[in-house]
Amino acid sequence: MFGLPLGGPPAKPLKICPENFDDRTNLCWVDKPFVSKDGSRLGYVSMQEKDLPDWVAYKMIQMQLTPKGTIASLTAELRKDCDINKVASSVAARFGKPTEDHLQPQEILKTATWELKDIFIHMTLAGSHCSVSFRTPEDIAAQRAYWESKKVNRPATP
C-alpha cells in the first residue's frame, strides 16, 4: 500500500527523519516509535508525497511493524477536508467494491470495509475525523484473538 509492502518488511530499515524537512527523501519515522514488550513498533512516518494519492498526501500516516519487522498496518489520518466518496472511489478503483458499505448521505457515522484475502481495509468518517486503515490478515487475527482472550464469563442477570 502506498508503495510499501504490507505484510513484508520496508525496503530499508526505518530511521528517524532528519530535522531538515528537505532532506527527507525516504520513508522515515517522524519521531521515535513506541516499542511494545514483544518488539513491535508503532509510530507516524513521513513518505514521499509523489508516491501517495492526492487524498493522503501531506497527511499523518501511522505505521505498525511486527516484532519481525514486517508492516502489519498503515493508517492514514485524514482529519478535516476529507472527501469520503473520493477516498472510497480511489480505494475501490484498486480493490473493487467494498464488502460492507455504510456511506449513504443520511448516515452519521460513515464506514466502508474491504475484507479481501491478503488485505483488510476500513474507512471511517465521524464528524470531522476521517481515517483509512490498511491491515494484514495476521494483524486482524491477532487483534481478534486479543479481544477474545479479554472476554469474561459474566452472569446473565444482576
What average pLDDT does this structure show over 135-152?
Answer: 80
Share of the chain above pLDDT 90, in %: 17
Share of the chain above pLDDT 70, in %: 90
Mean of per-residue pLDDT scores for the chain: 83
Say whether pLDDT at 58 is over 80. Answer: no
Structure-model confidence comparison of residues 66 and 48, the more confident one: 66
Verdict on whether the full-model pTM lies above 0.95:
no
Per-residue confidence at 5, pLDDT binned at 50, 70, 90?
confident
CA 143 from centroid of its chain's CA atoms: 14
- What is the separation, in whole angstroms, between the first and last Cα of the chain? 48
Q: Is the dihedral of CA 18, 130, 35, 69 positive or negative?
A: negative
CA 8 from centroid of its chain's CA atoms: 15
Task: Kindly state the DSSP code that residue 97 receives in the 8-state scheme.
Answer: S
Distance CA 46, CA 27 (A): 6
Distance CA 119, CA 117 (A): 6
CA-nearest of 104, 4, 102, 106 to 48 is 4
CA-nearest of 133, 102, 103 to 119 is 133
Say whether pLDDT at 79 is over 70. Answer: yes
Q: Which residues, 6+ apart, have CB-to-CB distance to 40 below 8 Å?
A: 64, 65, 66, 67, 72
- List pLDDT tens digits, range 7-32: 888 888 888 888 776 655 678 898 99
User: Residue 15: what are its φ and ψ, rounded to 5°?
Assistant: -120, 170
- Per-domain boundaries in the chain: 21-150
CA-nearest of 147, 145, 14, 155 to 71 is 14
Structure-model confidence comparison of residues 66 and 155, the more confident one: 66
Say whether pLDDT at 106 is over 80. Answer: no
Distance CA 111, CA 53 (A): 20
What average pLDDT does this structure show over 59-67?
Answer: 89
What average pLDDT does this structure show over 105-132?
Answer: 84
